[in-house]
Amino acid sequence: MEKVSLAIIGGSGLYQMDGLTDLKEVNLKTPFGNPSDTIMVGTIAGTRIAFLPRHGRGHRIMPTEVNSRANIYALKKLGVERIVSVSAVGSLREDYKPLDVVIPDQIVDRTRNRPNSTFFGNGIAVHIQFSDPYCPNLSAHLIQAGQNLNKIVHPKGTMVCMEGPAFSTRAESNLYRQWGIDIIGMTALPEAKLAREAEICYSAIALVTDYDCWHQTEEIVSVDMVIQNLLANVETAKKIIRKVIPLIPKERNCFCATALQNSIITDPSKITPTARKKVGLLIDKYLLPIKKQKRK
């Protein structure tokens, strides 16, 4: 199977990556089920990348229903080391305007019905470091790539990830503003946590589509508004992706690459072969090889 080191996860409005050549469809099964859709592997800016639409082609999957474990595991299986996530967000700040782009650096988790938030459990206890949920190195490259575009690209922002699928109440929107949160979305988690568990660098291009519902002088957020503004911003996201590819070095020197090294708490001797087999792709390099039983 061809190995690909960079992946793009497309959100609302981004269901395919234009300009890919030498396309190949990859259907991968994982211990956690099937990914959202077929993974497209192709060449852009001289680099082989993988593209996966988070909600499936035709937008069939709601945020809570996204099988993020299968998505991230499948990309890991492909050899992916870096993921650029593209998603629609609402703004909770006057100066983060619709059609602006944000490269977020923090997340607040307000999800509650997403059981697939870790690869581990069932006899394997893992506690990853998640103080900086987005890879600072990859985010820096995205910021640099966006600086020369005729768009406002905010180099940082705290995102609150809500459960959905309904948009916020006005009280919720104002509460998040009081907390000092900048943008709101539905898909950053558990995706970012799983990417860290898989030791994959993860950063996001957050596309501002609306002012949520706190802004008294703006139209209340609706699906039509989100889609209209998102389609305009998707072209910006594609340009950033094309520009960032040549900036990404081959080697990684960030904490993402060794996130599991000191995070596996369970005594290796207590990990059952069944549990280890399910997540061996992620943890085998940190455990002693399984001894083969001699035939009698």
Instruction: Evaluate if pTM is beyond 0.85.
Output: yes
The more confidently predicted of residues 229 and 2 is 2
pLDDT of residue 219: 62
The CA-CA-CA angle for residues 44, 75, 124, to 5°, reads 160
- Structural domain range at position 272: 6-286
Give the model confidence (pLDDT) of 27-51 as tens digits: 999 999 999 999 999 999 899 999 9
Whether 212 sits among the annotated catalytic residues: the reply is yes
Cα 164 from Cα 96, distance rounded (Å): 22
Looking at residues 282-293, what average pLDDT do you find?
78
Residue 3, pLDDT > 60, answer yes
The verdict on residue 238 lying in a domain is: yes
End-to-end CA distance of the chain: 36
The per-residue pLDDT for 220 is: 62
Specify whether 18 is catalytic. no
210 inside domain: yes
Q: Is residue 214 part of a domain?
A: yes
Confidence at residue 296, expressed as pLDDT on a 0 to 100 scale:
45
DSSP conformation letters of 84-149: EEEEEEEE-STTS-TT-EE---EEEEE--S---S-S-BTTB-B----SS-S-HHHHHHHHHHHHTS
User: Side chain identity at 66, as an amino acid letter?
Assistant: V
Per-residue confidence (pLDDT) for residue 192, from 0 to 100: 98
Q: Does 10 map to a domain? A: yes
Residue 225: pLDDT above 90? no
Query: What's the CA gap between 10 and 69, in Å, rounded?
Result: 16
Is residue 294 one of the residues assigned to a domain?
A: no
Residue 240 located in a structural domain: yes
The two tokens of residue 74 are: 């499948």
Tell me the two tokens of residue 134.
């987005």
The two tokens of residue 246 are: 């040549």
pLDDT mean over 244-267: 96
Structure tokens at 186: 């539905």
- Work out the pLDDT band at 203, boundaries 50, 70, 90: very high
Neighbours of 8 (CB within 10 A): 23
Q: What is the CATH number of the domain that holds 168?
A: 3.40.50.1580
Within a domain: 296: no
- pLDDT band, very low/low/confident/very high, at 228 (cuts 50, 70, 90): confident
What value, to the nearest 5°, has the Cα angle with vertex 74 and ends 183 and 251? 75
Distance between alpha carbon 294 and the CA centroid of its chain, in Å? 43
What average pLDDT score do residues 269-294 get? Answer: 86
Q: Which two tokens stand for residue 187?
A: 């898909």
Q: Which of 14-18, 53-57, 127-131, 232-236 has the lowest mean pLDDT?
A: 14-18
Domains identified in the chain, total number: 1
User: pLDDT tens digit string along 95-144?
Assistant: 999 999 999 999 999 999 998 899 999 999 999 999 999 999 999 999 99
CA dist., res. 114 & res. 62, Å (int) = 12
Catalytic option among 109, 212, 224, 267:
212
CA angle 64, 66, 68 (to 5 degrees): 115
**Which pLDDT score, from 0 to 100, does residue 293 have?**
42
The token duo for 119 is 């690869």
Q: Is residue 214 within 8 Å of residue 112, measured between CB atoms?
A: no
State the Cα angle at 29 between 28 and 30, rounded to 5°.
120
Domain-embedded: residue 195: yes
Query: In the prediction, which pLDDT does 291 show?
Result: 56
* 210/229 Cα distance (integer angstroms): 8
212 — pLDDT class (breaks 50, 70, 90): confident
| Res. 262: pLDDT tops 50 | yes
Q: Which residue of the set 109, 210, 224, 267 is catalytic? A: 210
Residue 150 has pLDDT above 60, yes or no: yes
Out of 81-90, 209-218, 277-286, least confident range: 209-218
pLDDT-derived band of residue 222, with 50, 70 and 90 as boundaries? low
Average pLDDT over residues 48-61: 94
